[in-house]
Every structure is written in C-alpha cells, then in structure tokens.
C-alpha cells in the first residue's frame, strides 16, 4: 500500500512538473526579471542613445514583459529598491506591455504611443480602454515581490511606454515601461528592446513616437511631454497651464 501511494505521488509530481515546464516555456526567448533590470539600467545611459529627458532621465522605471498570449513573464524595477519608483507605475507598465502585444502583428508593430490620438474623445477608438481593464490581482506590493506572473493582467494604456517585441520577424510579446513622463517611458522601452535584440523587422524606430509638431500632422501623433527628447535630440517641453484672466 505504501509503495502504491509513493508511486501515485511520483506520477502526480511528474505531471505538475510537466505542466510547469510547459507553462514556463511560454516565456522562452523573453527577458527574465533579472535581465529586465539590467536592460532598464543600461537603457538610461546617455551612451545608449543620448538624453532620455522627462523628470528622472529614465532612471526610476518599472518594466514588464508579456508573451504572445498576454501572460506576464517578468516584471522588475531599474532600482534595487523598488519603493523608489512610483508604485502606480507598476500597473501602468504591465498594462502597456499587454496593450502593445494585443494590438500588434508580425507585420505591424504598434507602440502604445501611436494609439494616443485614436483613443481621444471624438476619434475612432474613443472608449477602447473600457474594453479590458487591469486585473489588480496582478499587482505586487511596493516592495516589488513578484505577483501576477503567468497570468493575463489585462489593462489598456494609450500613451508612450509600450512596444511589441519580436524574434526572427515574429511577434513574441510586449514590453511596458513606466516611471517617468510617457515620452521618456517610450525612449527607455525602445532602447530596452534594441539592447535585447528584439526589434521588429522595420528596426528600432519602426513604431517610434510621433510628435506633431515638429513632425507632419498624423493620426498617430502623441503630445510633447515635460522636457521631451527623442533619439538624443530635444523636441521641446509641455506647455504650462494657462488660465483666463479674472474679469
């Protein structure tokens, strides 16, 4: 009887191991949490593309990676102390990764920055964000302990910081970055993708952020942020608020 029980337990453990291996294989080829932190730190260096701009020059970031199924594979901060990155940026990074993967294809890379105009009031995708909300079960505490791994986090974000990731011309998931202005988030995200060798067929700038002005008018346009830099060139800064004069 004891031998039979031990054999049954061994079979069950083998089955669970196979399932775990199966599930983990869905993240094959994607950065691990440790690799993600290293990439985030490197991406903020001026030697990897010039100034990042924004508030912190891209040095206080949450990053997240999902696979093609939208399952969270890795999340980490660029700082060794996760509490020194905005806690609210964790959910945003995970949502950006989900969004970029959800709306990109092998032959069509669509960064979250390029969805901005489409999702504004009066435009064709207004209210899209209500279609798939973020699952708070995927949140870790500010200390950064892992949470949400291998589950579909959902959430949709339509400003800079989310990009699809590729291998061999095929989309394999999405990357989300948050912790600074949305413009700086995008700069860090595209550098991380480039450093990891996970660009789409069109290269690092295939789905780059568009500013109108100085770029031509575009339905893919994104507003300029505080101290905006793109590919090492200063674009400008967000205009201060203006108020009508009292009568």
Instruction: Return the sign of the alpha-carbon dihedral for residues 125, 129, 130, 132.
Output: positive
The boundaries of the domain holding residue 93 are 29-236
Kindly tell me if the per-residue pLDDT of 246 is higher than 90.
no
pLDDT tier for residue 7 given thresholds of 50, 70 and 90 = very low
Q: What was the pLDDT predicted at 31?
A: 97
> What is the average per-residue pLDDT within 182-205?
98
Tell me whether residue 91 is in a domain. Answer: yes
Least confident of 55-59, 61-65, 116-120, 137-141: 137-141
Tell me whether residue 100 is in a domain. Answer: yes
pLDDT tier for residue 52 given thresholds of 50, 70 and 90 = very high
Q: What percent of the chain has pLDDT over 70?
A: 87
Per-residue pLDDT reduced to its tens digit, 150-179: 889 999 999 999 999 999 999 999 999 999
> What are the φ/ψ torsions at residue 113 (nearest 5 degrees)?
-60, -35
Tell me whether residue 51 is in a domain. Answer: yes
Q: Which two tokens stand for residue 142?
A: 């500010």
Q: What was the pLDDT predicted at 16?
A: 34
Tell me whether residue 178 is in a domain. Answer: yes
Tell me whether residue 82 is in a domain. Answer: yes
Q: Among candidates 182, 48, 216, which has minimal Cα distance to 113?
A: 182
pTM above 0.85, yes or no: yes
Tell me whether residue 10 is in a domain. Answer: no
DSSP reduced 3-state for 133: coil
Tell me whether residue 21 is in a domain. Answer: no
What's the mean pLDDT when you consider all of the chain?
89
Per-residue pLDDT reduced to its tens digit, 66-91: 999 999 999 999 999 999 999 999 99
Kindly tell me if the per-residue pLDDT of 48 is higher than 60.
yes
Per-residue pLDDT reduced to its tens digit, 108-148: 999 999 999 999 999 999 988 888 889 888 888 887 766 67
* Cα dist from 130 to 2, 22, 134, 186, 235, whole Å: 55, 32, 10, 23, 32
Kindly tell me if the per-residue pLDDT of 212 is higher than 80.
yes
Tell me whether residue 13 is in a domain. Answer: no
Q: What's the structural domain count of the chain?
A: 1
Q: What was the pLDDT predicted at 247?
A: 65
The CATH code of the domain that includes 218 is 3.30.450.150
């Amino acid at each position: 009887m004891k031998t039979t029980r031990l054999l049954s337990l061994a079979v069950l453990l083998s089955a669970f191991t196979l399932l775990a291996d199966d599930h983990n294989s869905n993240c094959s080829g994607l950065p691990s949490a440790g690799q993600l932190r290293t990439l985030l730190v490197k991406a903020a260096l001026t030697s990897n593309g010039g100034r990042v701009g924004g508030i912190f020059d891209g040095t206080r970031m949450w990053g997240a990676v999902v696979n093609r199924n939208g399952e969270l594979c890795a999340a980490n901060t660029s700082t060794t102390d996760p509490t020194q990155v905005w806690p609210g940026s964790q959910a945003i990074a995970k949502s950006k990764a989900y969004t970029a993967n959800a709306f990109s294809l092998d032959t069509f890379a669509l960064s979250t920055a390029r969805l901005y105009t489409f999702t504004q009031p009066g435009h064709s995708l207004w209210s899209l964000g209500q279609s798939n909300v973020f699952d708070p079960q995927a949140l870790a505490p500010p200390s950064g302990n892992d949470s949400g791994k291998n589950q579909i986090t959902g959430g949709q974000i339509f400003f800079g910081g989310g990009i699809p990731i590729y291998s061999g011309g095929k989309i394999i998931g999405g990357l989300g970055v948050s912790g600074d202005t949305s413009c700086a988030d995008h700069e860090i995200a595209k550098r991380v993708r480039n450093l990891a060798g996970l660009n789409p067929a069109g290269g690092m700038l295939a789905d780059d952020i568009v500013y109108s002005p100085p770029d031509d008018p575009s339905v893919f346009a994104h507003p300029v942020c505080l101290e905006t830099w793109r590919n090492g060139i200063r674009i400008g800064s967000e205009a201060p608020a203006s108020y009508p004069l009292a009568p």
